[in-house]
Structure 1
Amino acid sequence: MHPNPIEKVPSFSDLSLDEQLLSAVKKLGFELPTPVQSQSIPFALEHKDLLVSAETGSGKTGAFLLPTLHNLLAIPSRKAGVRALILAPTRELAQQIFKQCQQLAESTGLRTGLITGGDDFRLQQNMLRNNTEIVIATPGRVLELMDQEIPNFTNLEVLILDEADRMLDMGFSEDVLTIANSCNEQRQTLLFSATLTHFGVIKMADKLLKNHEVIALNTLHDGHRNIEQQIVLADDNDHKQKLLAWLLQNETYDKALVFTNSRIQADALRGPLRGQKLRVGVLHGEMDQKDRNRMMQLFREGAINIMIATDLAARGLDIKGINLVINFDVPRNGINYIHRIGRTGRVDELGLAIALVKHTEWNLMSGIERFLKQKFKHRNIKKLEGKYKGPKKLKASGKSTGGKKKTEPKKATVEKVKIRHRDKKNIGKRRVPTVKPNIEISQA
């Protein structure tokens, strides 16, 4: 890890970026570099490999796009093939990166392409044959194209892995390594992750990075300072639905995300919420890609302001104005919890994350608190307060069971002593030190 991380610079112009990129940054309204950008960009401009840990919404996309675009412009190449490959775990995240890359490279002449599943395979083949310089892709579709011997990564200059921990959690480890092994060995590699405590990330970094710098802005256990985290107890799913509807009708927000653990639950919530005249959409992996794109566009434009989603949307939904996240189902682990609530409280904005917890989810929620080394605020909604108040206290159980057990052994001990005094065969056996030695004489 670099011992003296670079301090935050006052402006993007101090990063010595290409003037075309500085104009694009200004046009997008980015005034100052975020900490991850000010610390990562100088090293990346020097073509160093990087392992970067930064939470969602910290500006990490710009942290790898800006130096990559600058280096491609600074050293033009006449060689055929892709020059920069950016891998992302989900289609939605790939689309977000693609959009920002297009905006930054608008006046540079650099050609950018998007490769994800669900889109026209033949068009993607043609795009690669035309020597598109920057490709943003999901691993699965890249492998499908590699089977057709189409992508040419032999002259690749930069390989970027975004949300590396998520890719590993989704089972893309072998796919990513296969793709990386087909790339130019002299390339620069940038690996971005939400955490450095994920063993798989460190293992992958050891395989892919050479003499790299480590920039750790956070770990999994860092709190989201801009997010207020609350727990509301619920009796069952019917009670949860009532709580959810009340929260969506009474909280102040521009856009809200509601997370479930299954597609079936997400679909089941849509009808009742629409019945409450709420503008609701659903997003999950079983939907056709065109429907998913349409739903995200409606959400982005504000035609709907509530999205019910599975963990598919926990990564990749980079939409402004999400200031309320509700976990209808408690996520299965702390990592998923972080990625869910990371949709709100981005950069300098404030957010609210609420988890609805029933008795079967208490241990799971407590485990997440221990994992994150945080305690969440408990909240009661008076109009809808349920019967479940959390697990019984240990003291209460001690009164009902522990008391009797404590007195019974004492009685048993007294009885044994009496029996021992009447039984001459036991005289002198297992003497208690406080008993006087003349007891044997009196008994004799």
Structure 2
Amino acid sequence: MFSQFALHERLLKAVDELKFVEPTPVQAAAIPLALQGRDLRVTAQTGSGKTAAFVLPMLNRLVDLKQKRVEIRALVLLPTRELAQQTLKEVERFAQFTFIKAGLITGGEDFKEQAAMLRKVPDVLIGTPGRLLEQLNAGNLHLEHVQVIVLDEADRMLDMGFSEDVERLCNECPNREQTMLFSATTGGAGLRDMIGKVLKEPEHLMLNSVSQLAEGTRQQIITADHNQHKEQIVQWLLQNETYEKAIIFTNTRVMADRIYGHLVAKDYKAFVLHGDKDQKDRKLAIERLKQGGAKILVATDVAARGLDVDGLDLVINFDMPRSGDEYVHRIGRTGRAGNEGLAVSLICHGDWNLMSSIERYLKQSFERRVIKEVKGTYTGPKKVKASGKAAGVKKKKTDKKGDKKVAAKRKPTAKPKPNAPLASADGLAPLKRRKPAPAAE
């Protein structure tokens, strides 16, 4: 029960209103330590409830402060606009019975309107690093009174090249008392470097090892001959699988638009989401998917983070993601909050090694699936058998009594006769010997 936590009564009222009963494992592990003011480094599966794990302690720190709202007191950094918007909604839901106000700063929105919002000084500021730095450089953002910083999806921010931006924003908060870093994967050396720079004696919470991620999701691969064959498989899956909502991931915007066009031509209710879409279209696509106005979303990895949609139970990787961490975030869109999901990856000849490396990274073996109606010729790499005969060496023999094998001696290569014709470079015709040039007089 959430009442076991030392949370303010106004926050517990919101938790009760939102029908939160049992805390998830990440909430049970992180909230007590966060309430003590400890720095945290938390690795937890996507969809495990980690947003509430940092929002509730953060709001608890701010809820009883008596001073007027004259400075930003909490900063939440996230990699994408969609995730930032989702986090803003969560903060507003949990703060509904308090006087705490939150603001949002992301790209794709009017810069001057954001500057006007900052002049009202929200208690909690949520945003993406790039636009926050732009407002900071313009003199519109002041962070010297920030008490708590949250870095959510920190591994993704590093992948997107925000490492220096995140460090600078953290350095602009010299008086912070607590920093919490959350991610769905363990990341690499870059993440460890950031942890060393921005966290002070952090408590490490590993709620899921990589091999435990997405346990509620069936993971399958289907081999394909080429992209046109992949499109046929996608059509079959959408027609024959049982799903409420589906998302199809591609690696490029061009391919996302192509698949979307084919789906619309076949009267599917679909939307497309990628970096070329303006903020208004991106909001519309996600809202339509959430409200049921569309059943299918075609997207690049811009949608792999921060997309929390009820009933999203089918993920199709038209293109294999470029890393194991990205794969985890893609399939984390389904099988959320204990529900079951299905993730299908389409594998051509050029995808096999990448798929195998992701299997090794996850320490899992994906289910191989064949659909006879759209079966192709490619079934994976051919196994090459050892021939047992080396060039120019005869196989070793053994007598009936089991005596030691005796290797046959290689016959010496015959030397060409002095006057024999020489072979040409391509071995097709002999070359004529040139007569020696006459000696110089």
1:58–1:415 distance in 2 versus 1, CA, 3 Å: closer
Q: Give the structure 1 partner of residue 399 of structure 2.
A: none
How far apart are 1:413 and its partner, in Å? 4.6
1:196–1:335 distance in 2 versus 1, CA, 3 Å: closer
RMSD: 1.9
Please tell me whether residue 384 in structure 1 is matched to residue 374 in structure 2: yes
- Structure 2 counterpart of 1:359, one-letter code: H
Counterpart Cα distance in 2 of 1:76 and 1:405: 87
Asked whether the 8 Å contact 2:253–2:276 carries over to 1, the reply is yes
Q: Give the structure 2 partner of residue 369 of structure 1.
A: 359
Counterpart Cα distance in 2 of 1:223 and 1:80: 42
Asked whether the 8 Å contact 1:51–1:192 carries over to 2, the reply is yes
Please tell me whether residue 217 in structure 1 is matched to residue 207 in structure 2: yes
- More moved, 20-29 vs 344-353: 20-29
Counterpart Cα distance in 1 of 2:32 and 2:382: 55
Q: Give the structure 2 partner of residue 59 of structure 1.
A: 49
Q: Give the structure 2 partner of residue 429 of structure 1.
A: none
Unaligned runs of 5+ in 1: 1-10, 420-444
SS of 1:74's equivalent in the other structure is coil
How far apart are 1:417 and its partner, in Å? 9.2
Counterpart Cα distance in 1 of 2:37 and 2:407: 78
Deviations 1:219-276 (A, max 9, x none): 3333421010000011111111010011011111111010000000000001222233
Q: Give the structure 1 partner of residue 439 of structure 2.
A: none
Q: 2:308 aligns with which of 315, 318, 323?
A: 318
- Structure 2 counterpart of 1:172, one-letter code: F
How far apart are 1:405 and its partner, in Å? 3.4
1:164–1:30 distance in 2 versus 1, CA, 3 Å: same
SS of 1:270's equivalent in the other structure is helix
Q: Give the structure 2 partner of residue 414 of structure 1.
A: 409
How far apart are 1:26 and its partner, in Å? 1.9
Q: 2:142 aligns with which of 136, 140, 152?
A: 152
Asked whether the 8 Å contact 2:389–2:395 carries over to 1, the reply is no
SS of 2:316's equivalent in the other structure is strand
Counterpart Cα distance in 2 of 1:81 and 1:15: 28
Matched ranges for 1:36-435 at <5 A: 36-78=26-68, 80-395=70-385, 398-399=386-387, 402-403=388-389, 405=391, 407-408=393-394, 413-415=408-410
Counterpart Cα distance in 1 of 2:61 and 2:378: 59
Counterpart Cα distance in 1 of 2:202 and 2:357: 34
How far apart are 1:404 and its partner, in Å? 5.5
Matched ranges for 1:12-31 at <5 A: 12-31=2-21
Counterpart Cα distance in 1 of 2:113 and 2:19: 33
How far apart are 1:81 and its partner, in Å? 1.4
Unaligned runs of 5+ in 2: 397-405, 415-441
Counterpart Cα distance in 2 of 1:418 and 1:263: 61
1:383–1:79 distance in 2 versus 1, CA, 3 Å: closer
How far apart are 1:277 and its partner, in Å? 2.5
Counterpart Cα distance in 2 of 1:236 and 1:404: 36
How far apart are 1:79 and its partner, in Å? 7.0
1:407–1:210 distance in 2 versus 1, CA, 3 Å: same
Identity %: 49
- Structure 2 counterpart of 1:185, one-letter code: N
Deviations 1:380-439 (A, max 9, x none): 1011111111111122xx34xx546384486995255999xxxxxxxxxxxxxxxxxxxx
Asked whether the 8 Å contact 1:48–1:188 carries over to 2, the reply is yes
Asked whether the 8 Å contact 1:79–1:155 carries over to 2, the reply is no
SS of 1:325's equivalent in the other structure is strand
SS of 1:161's equivalent in the other structure is strand
1:80–1:407 distance in 2 versus 1, CA, 3 Å: same
1:77–1:403 distance in 2 versus 1, CA, 3 Å: farther
Counterpart Cα distance in 2 of 1:385 and 1:406: 42
TM-score by length of 2: 0.88
- Structure 1 counterpart of 2:335, one-letter code: G
SS of 1:405's equivalent in the other structure is coil
Deviations 1:322-359 (A, max 9, x none): 11100001111111111100101112111100001011
- Structure 1 counterpart of 2:317, one-letter code: N
Counterpart Cα distance in 2 of 1:143 and 1:113: 15
How far apart are 1:280 and its partner, in Å? 1.2
Asked whether the 8 Å contact 1:82–1:151 carries over to 2, the reply is no
Asked whether the 8 Å contact 1:157–1:184 carries over to 2, the reply is no
SS of 2:75's equivalent in the other structure is strand
Counterpart Cα distance in 2 of 1:271 and 1:191: 39
Asked whether the 8 Å contact 1:12–1:32 carries over to 2, the reply is yes
Counterpart Cα distance in 2 of 1:85 and 1:322: 30
Counterpart Cα distance in 2 of 1:329 and 1:134: 38
SS of 1:308's equivalent in the other structure is strand
Deviations 1:135-164 (A, max 9, x none): 110000110001112212111111110000
SS of 2:297's equivalent in the other structure is strand
Asked whether the 8 Å contact 1:235–1:358 carries over to 2, the reply is yes
Asked whether the 8 Å contact 2:63–2:99 carries over to 1, the reply is no
Counterpart Cα distance in 2 of 1:388 and 1:209: 49
1:75–1:384 distance in 2 versus 1, CA, 3 Å: same
Counterpart Cα distance in 2 of 1:97 and 1:114: 9
Counterpart Cα distance in 1 of 2:256 and 2:225: 19
